[in-house]
Structure 1
Amino acid sequence: MHLFLHIGDHKTGTTSIQAFLRRRAAELEAVGIYVPTAGTYSPESGHHQLAFELLEDKRWNPAHGGLLELLEELRRCPLPRAVISCEDLSLLVVRPDRLRRLEASLLAEGHTVSWLMFLRRVDDYLESLYCELMRSGIRARLGYPGFAFPFLLRGRRYSKFCDYRAFVRRWRGLSDSPLHLLDYDRAVGAEGLLPRFLQAIGAPESLIEANHAAPVLNQRREQITRHFRSVLGPLLMARFHRSNQRALHG
């Protein structure tokens, strides 16, 4: 079986993609694409419990299944392809042992793997990420400037990267399977996010066309960053945009 592992990035329409995969699992199965349930915790969630287990996150709940349950479920599936989606899997870039464990476990079962990742222009991405963390109760000293400046100085903070070339280089150095990069902004402005994702996993044209106008959930710009947008946005773009575009399209 060929496995597509959609690893994010955060704030690139992952909620929309995951809800679609779970809601339309039967339609996808009818065209040969399986959506596992192991590692999910609600009828519309992605495979977050798989990532939580690998990352040793306190939100890990064995009742929802993890890697072993996923492997067992895939053994019972006769279809040629499957898709797994969780943006937190991208955080494995700073946990090489866990990334290798995931990949090795899948390859040992005879599967092949492709990693899929949407990347978004860096100024919009960082604003959206900051606002999401604020809604989750994570506060930054000095507000958005205090959050953004470490990215400007170092290209990354914790396990999140604004320097996509650095992320890609590191991921590809850890994995033997291909990492396919998809342009979030181009997809949203052209064929649509879900159609672009469905193309990437080999869905038939009829299914792609039927979801051409599907909306992207949680897509908004926030008031809490607007005061800093005119200064920090150009700085972020000057620092990262050209090299990020080379990573995405080079």
Structure 2
Amino acid sequence: MARASRRLRSAMWLLYQYRKMRAFLAPAVAGRRVILHIGPHKTGTTTMQATLQRNRGLLAPYLYLVPRRDTPLRLLTILTRNTYRPRQLARNADAMTQAARRLARSCRHLPVTLITHEDLMGARPTLRNEHGLYAVAPDKLALIVDAFESEGARVEIVFYRRDFAEWLESLHRDIGKGGKPGGLGRRFGFPADWEPLLGAFRDRFGTRLCVLSFDADREAGRMGLGLLRLAGVPDATIEGIDWSPPRRVTSAATLAPRGLA
């Protein structure tokens, strides 16, 4: 068993080295798209990522999915998770830019690349006892977008919007603490809805920001449907998708056909 595991790790390492060499040698694709799906947490992101991963072969003609374990992406998300105050942003800005440019160069030869990671905005709210909702997220994403665009990519940012009160309840269950969801929001200084955060994103990114409906995907029973359509995957291919069941649900009630939390 140990020998098989070592062989698998060696094969994965060789595949990663091949990908790096291919990206280095292949010419850059002009006008290439990079789609950044940034979450937020508790909006079905884990379920979407599972669906994308299990259907990578089917989706390959239309987009390339960057694996969560991809080294440049991991380095970038380590920085974004640990940058949640202005002084940390000032200290980490150069490293974040370099990590984003490295990630951009690794997919320079691909016409459409999908990067999906909820930690690009930062760690899950309340995780580090920080107040506010994804503090400095617009500034972090601006650095990442600028880095990708400096490498010739056209960036689109995808935010899945869920009813804020329902999202807060899901976050409250995920944390597993007592009290009421509203009290959690007051304790950590959350706004009344998503608009302050989305307004800051719109000011920074304009039409590069695409807000998709969590409820629309959930009602269809296909989390990630809007994301695939945005990426340009044909409906005929979408019909052949093997959709993942809900992942990381926080309440048994959410396993009903209507969706997940």
Q: TM-score, normalised by structure 1?
A: 0.67
- Aligned pair partner of 2:159 in 117, 123, 131: 117
Give the C-alpha shift of residue 95 in structure 1: 4.1
Give the C-alpha shift of residue 115 in structure 1: 0.7
> Is 1:53 aligned to residue 53 of structure 2?
no
**Partner AA of 1:50 in structure 2:** L
Q: Do the aligned partners of residues 102 and 195 (structure 1) sit closer, same or farther apart at CA in structure 2, a change above 3 Å counting?
A: same
Mapping for residues 14-29 of structure 1, pairs under 5 Å: 14-29=45-60
Residue segments in structure 2 that go unaligned for 5+ positions in a row: 1-31, 84-94, 123-133, 254-261
Give the C-alpha shift of residue 200 in structure 1: 2.0
Give the C-alpha shift of residue 179 in structure 1: 1.2
2 CA distance for matches of 1:49 and 1:129?
26
> Is 1:219 aligned to residue 249 of structure 2?
yes
SS for the counterpart of 1:3 is strand
Report if the CA contact (8 A) 1:194-1:214 is conserved: no
1 CA distance for matches of 2:233 and 2:183?
41
Give the C-alpha shift of residue 150 in structure 1: 5.5
Per-residue CA deviations over 1:47-75 (Å, capped at 9, x if unaligned) read 55522223436xxxx9xx94343123112
SS for the counterpart of 1:210 is coil
Per-residue CA deviations over 1:103-153 (Å, capped at 9, x if unaligned) read 11001111111111111122321121122223xxxx5xxx232x52353x5
Name the structure 1 match of 2:10: none
Structure 1 segments (4+ residues) deviating >4 Å: none
Give the C-alpha shift of residue 14 in structure 1: 0.4
Which of the two has higher C-alpha Rg?
Answer: 2
> Is 1:206 aligned to residue 236 of structure 2?
yes
Per-residue CA deviations over 1:169-188 (Å, capped at 9, x if unaligned) read 01122235521111111221
**Partner AA of 1:54 in structure 2:** T
Name the structure 1 match of 2:169: 127
SS for the counterpart of 1:102 is helix
Give the C-alpha shift of residue 5 in structure 1: 0.6
Give the C-alpha shift of residue 80 in structure 1: 1.4
Give the C-alpha shift of residue 96 in structure 1: 4.3
Instruction: Percent identity, please.
Output: 26
SS for the counterpart of 1:193 is coil
SS for the counterpart of 1:84 is strand
> Is 1:187 aligned to residue 217 of structure 2?
yes
Name the structure 2 match of 1:72: 105
Report if the CA contact (8 A) 1:7-1:89 is conserved: yes
2 CA distance for matches of 1:144 and 1:164?
22
2 CA distance for matches of 1:213 and 1:95?
30
**Partner AA of 1:7 in structure 2:** I
1 CA distance for matches of 2:163 and 2:138?
26
**Partner AA of 1:13 in structure 2:** G
Name the structure 2 match of 1:84: 115
Q: Do the aligned partners of residues 34 and 162 (structure 1) sit closer, same or farther apart at CA in structure 2, a change above 3 Å counting?
A: farther
SS for the counterpart of 2:224 is helix
Residue segments in structure 1 that go unaligned for 5+ positions in a row: 224-250
How many residues end up aligned between the 2 structures? 199
Report if the CA contact (8 A) 1:117-1:182 is conserved: yes
Give the C-alpha shift of residue 201 in structure 1: 1.5
Name the structure 2 match of 1:12: 43
Q: Do the aligned partners of residues 171 and 48 (structure 1) sit closer, same or farther apart at CA in structure 2, a change above 3 Å counting?
A: farther
Q: Do the aligned partners of residues 49 and 23 (structure 1) sit closer, same or farther apart at CA in structure 2, a change above 3 Å counting?
A: farther
Give the superposed CA RMSD: 3.3
Report if the CA contact (8 A) 2:42-2:171 is conserved: yes
**Partner AA of 2:182 in structure 1:** A
Per-residue CA deviations over 1:150-176 (Å, capped at 9, x if unaligned) read 53x59xx46x66511111101122235
1 CA distance for matches of 2:135 and 2:112?
24
